[in-house]
Structure 1
Amino acid sequence: MRRFPAAEVARLLKARILIEDRKVDTWGTCAHCDCGYEVRLVEEIDGRLIACCPLDSSQDVLLEPCDLKRYRVDADKLVTAIAAAGRMKGSPAEIAAGIWFLGRSGTGRRIFMCRTPEDVFVPGISMLVKSMAGAMPPIVICEQIDTNSGISLRDMEIDVHELDEIVRPNEKGDEEISFDALLPPRDRVRLVMDRGRQVATLDGQILDLPLQMIALLRLFAEQALRSDPRLKKQEIEIDTGREAKELMRDLRGALMSCGLTRAQVDELFVSVRGIGYRLALAREEIEIIG
């Protein structure tokens, strides 16, 4: 848990979303160790916690007290917190194993959440979700969606999204949960990139961008269609020969020159701390032709 902010861990513990289990007194064995043990004991030696290797003391691991703590997540309370943060209407509830109904978004869509797409493929689950959604296609949110599962679910008229699609920066730059931007499948194509004509169209409006900005926007669109939608700063700089931060400033300025507001431009791109940027559009909202 040392890699997580202490204040955030404390907040989750207080909300009982994160629950501390009993401490452990064993540690994993060394890689490729021939000791024959499944685990090694943690011993306190001269006031220090050490996971001792019985064969090679150089492989001993010095531990902190927090290393022995183990936590579990209360899934129901986590889902309730997500629904509350997204201002869902209705009461969140687990409707089947691994499937939760979050409520209705501000646009009236019924939102569901599951751990993996496989949870929806369990016999009877897709029909249950669709019946609860009413006339509009249900929205199902998973942590990650592989290409084949995404295609299968959309063929079943279930609108699927990955978890990071509902996390957006607010005016202060902090991340918050919002479901209102999720649209029905028939309205989802927002950005069209025409490779042959070097033209980009956003929400039906042709963007009069310089060629370098068109190329950068196409990079974002192509990356957004991959399993990892994040475009690394190094990739931008290698492809363009310019500093990523400088190019992003120019791209934002060029888009505003095309008539987009500052707020619209800020919503279009998400900064990924320590990595780069990603286009804040789902795969179904992007079409590349030519």
Structure 2
Amino acid sequence: MILIWLWKRLNKTGARPEVSGRLLRRFPEAEINMLLRTRILIEDRKIDSWGTCAHCDCGHDARMIQEINGKLVACCPLDPSQDVFLEPADLIRYRIEGEKLIAAIAAAGKLTGTPAVISAGLWSMGVAATGRTIFLCRSPRDVFAPGISMLLKSLAGGTPPIVVFDEIDQASGIRLRDMEIDAHEVVEILRTDGNGVEVVSFDGLLPPSDRVRLIIDRSIPSVMLDGRVLDMSVQMVAVLVLLAEQACRRDPIIKKQIIEAETGRPPNEVIRDLRKALVAPGAPASTAKELIATVHGVGYRLGLAPEAISFADEGATHKRHTIYT
């Protein structure tokens, strides 16, 4: 997703956020043109020199770009094998308009409200379909500044603020949790839609108290997923129980042989039927495959974290004593 890639660049390029045409070549031309039309990217300047080779001993700060036989070449004065062949677009530098980029990310994620800068590197993005207020932040350090955590909680309207960071180190993650801030890395807002296109989605970012997605009562038996009570056969529930219990252990993968022993049927057929039973009518096939992922050559894995699973027959305060056993 080019919008998120540009946001990462925005975080790393300081007071003059820019990106080179050469780096943009990894993305489709249509996407670049759209960013230029909306002025998220603005052509800023052209360069006439190129960086030196890594660990080069030439003593130059840069190497000049020359046109040789109709081609643009950044020539290395010591080793012709290190020459870099360039395209005209490689010489262009584009300025990243931060406010427009943030607004585009909010729109792509279908947030309501108007994004706003809170402080350097920290933005209020809007409200997700889940009703939660989303913030986008360069680094946990920006949240640790005096008064910022209280401001986020105030803007979130009494619910835990959900803050998406570029990256979170372990120590910062623990500190943010102690501050009652629900922290996520930016990779968590990227999803693949039914057409295989990477899109931005904030709807899966839920505070810890709302993260239970799958509730199973083995005594009845019954299954609720994302608030929907599922109509499932006893055999399908039994297989789902196996997957859910395994997901709460250190190794979340359940082997094909176990499923076959439980059902007396080929595991691939069982999983196919279970996937159909889990997803809502009209949901893309990719959703079902995310819920139950195939681990090729081994078995299957439930695509939910342990904290998203609850066994109702163990009580409302279930402590998941099976985790990591």
Aligned match of 2:61:
38
Question: Aligned equivalents of 1:100 and 1:34: distance in 2?
Answer: 44
1:32 deviates by 2.7
Question: Aligned equivalents of 1:252 and 1:147: distance in 2?
Answer: 37
Is the 1:100–1:112 Cα contact (8 Å) retained in structure 2? yes
Question: Aligned equivalents of 2:111 and 2:43: distance in 1?
Answer: 28
The match for 2:151 among 98, 107, 128 is 128
1:126 deviates by 1.3
SS at match of 1:13: helix
Question: Aligned equivalents of 1:188 and 1:45: distance in 2?
Answer: 60
Fraction of identical pairs, as percent? 53
* Gapped regions of structure 2 (runs ≥ 5): 1-23, 216-222, 231-235, 257-266, 310-319
Q: Deviations over 1:45-85 (max 9, x none)?
A: 23221111122233222211122122232221111112222
Going from structure 1 to structure 2, the CA distance change for 1:31 and 1:266 (only over 3 Å counts) comes to closer
Matched letter for residue 238 of structure 2? D
Is the 1:138–1:158 Cα contact (8 Å) retained in structure 2? yes
Question: Aligned equivalents of 1:137 and 1:95: distance in 2?
Answer: 17
1:19 deviates by 2.2
Question: Aligned equivalents of 1:69 and 1:171: distance in 2?
Answer: 35
Aligned match of 2:87:
64
SS at match of 1:209: helix
1:156 and 2:179 aligned: yes
- Deviant stretches of 4+, over 6 Å: 200-206, 219-223, 247-250
TM-score, normalised to structure 1, is 0.72
Aligned match of 2:117:
94
Matched letter for residue 267 of structure 1? T
Matched letter for residue 60 of structure 1? D
Larger radius of gyration: 2
Question: Aligned equivalents of 1:279 and 1:26: distance in 2?
Answer: 52
Deviates more, 1:36-45 or 1:159-168: 159-168
The match for 1:267 among 287, 310, 314 is 287
Going from structure 1 to structure 2, the CA distance change for 1:3 and 1:179 (only over 3 Å counts) comes to closer
TM-score, normalised to structure 2, is 0.65
* Gapped regions of structure 1 (runs ≥ 5): 193-199, 224-235, 241-246
- What count of residue pairs does the alignment treat as equivalent? 259
CA RMSD of aligned residues (A): 4.1
Question: Aligned equivalents of 1:219 and 1:20: distance in 2?
Answer: 51
1:29 and 2:52 aligned: yes
1:103 and 2:126 aligned: yes
